Amino acid sequence: MLPVVVVHGGAGHIPKERSETSTTGVCSAVRAGYAVLQGGGSSMDAVVEAVTQLENNPSFNAGCGSVLNIKGEVEMDAMVMDGKTLASGAVSIVRNIANPIQLARLVMDKTSHVCLAGEGANQFARSMGVPEVPLESLITDYSRMRWKKNLVPGANPVECQMGKMGTVGAVAVDIEGNVASATSTGGILNKMEGRVGDTPVIGSGGYADNEIGAVSTTGHGEAIMKITLARLILFHMEQGQSVEAASDLGLAYMKSRVDGLGGVVTVDPHGHWAARFSSLQMSWAAAQKNTIHYGLYTGEHFTQSIVEPR
């Protein structure tokens, strides 16, 4: 059954004109992650590659294309977790970095800490030779338009949040049965400066444990944190629930207990996988046995074959 990689491009309400780029983007990212696994790479390599692709794609709310905070700036959160050792690395409210997910991995690999925030994270980036990029290179016209729209007195923040709720993420199982999780985000539109969401929070934005499985989450960060969604889903799996049932139980609890919507991608160490959401939409894609699976609305499940490289 294994290996597998599953990605999400964010839960929320995606405007019609952006649904095609969103679907194309997750399919492309999952292909890149799957190619890593096929080349003998680890699940950690695969999720970082998939999320890097999503960060580089301006259609998604992570890296280039991140939503803007109240001041019109970009502050990003990201996290990786390795199911073999429970090692984890995260960055929060980091600025001027093209690929926060790669910086999060460096925190895991090169420091004794799990999370670095703010200017300290940028100092660490410089010490590792990670280039800083101009703020403008992370901002799209679309992000700026939505930010301005929401500053207008009487603006409807829910409408403005449309299409920008999402966080991106990936989970994978490699040929050795190791699981990994990676999640990256620009946060929520017009957030306060310094706001940290669920993404860099172990157990909320993601979790990975070879003995259970791996989860990456998206949706309303404050709700996700209140119920530690990723860890909750894995607790259900520890008690015998399938990846799908456990994901649904976690999302249903989030709706009933704290009135929050979101979505998840989940795997177990055998390669079973699920992409589930309680929001109107979530762009997702999975790659396994040379087939890409993908969808956007509830119940959608398209497939296409991956042509083997000759």
Binding annotation for substrate: 195-198, 218-221
Terminal CA-CA length for the chain = 23
> Binding site membership: which residues?
195-198, 218-221
> By C-beta, is 196 or 286 nearer to a copy of itself?
196
β-pairing, 115-117 vs 88-94, is parallel
Is the distance from CB of 170 to CB of 260 less than 8 angstroms? Answer: no
Pick 53 or 216: Cβ nearer a copy of itself:
216
Own/partner pairs for 302-310, CB < 8 Å, 24+ apart? 304/27, 306/31, 306/34
Cis peptide before 3 (omega within 30 of 0): yes
85 labelled catalytic: no
- Within residues 199-228, the interface with a copy of itself by CB under 8 A covers 201-204, 207, 221-222, 225-228
Q: Which one is catalytic: 167, 183, 185, 228? A: 167
- Both tokens of 266, joined, read 């989940």
- Residue count at the site for a copy of itself (CB under 8 A)? 43
Residue 231 binds a copy of itself, judged by CB under 8 A = yes
Q: Which of 20, 119, 132, 176 binds a copy of itself (CB under 8 A)?
A: 119
Beta-bridge mates of residue 184: 78, 168
Smallest distance, Å, CB 203 to a copy of itself? 4
Q: Which of residues 245-274 bind a copy of itself (CB under 8 A)?
A: 257-258
Q: Which stretch binds a copy of itself (CB under 8 A): 46-54, 191-199, 243-251, 269-277?
A: 191-199
Quick one: CA dihedral 9, 297, 28, 40, positive or negative? positive
For 140, phi then psi, to 5°, come to -100, 160
Which residue ranges make up the site for a copy of itself (CB under 8 A)? 85-88, 90, 92-93, 111-121, 123-124, 191-197, 201-204, 207, 221-222, 225-228, 231-232, 235, 257-258
Catalytic residues: 167
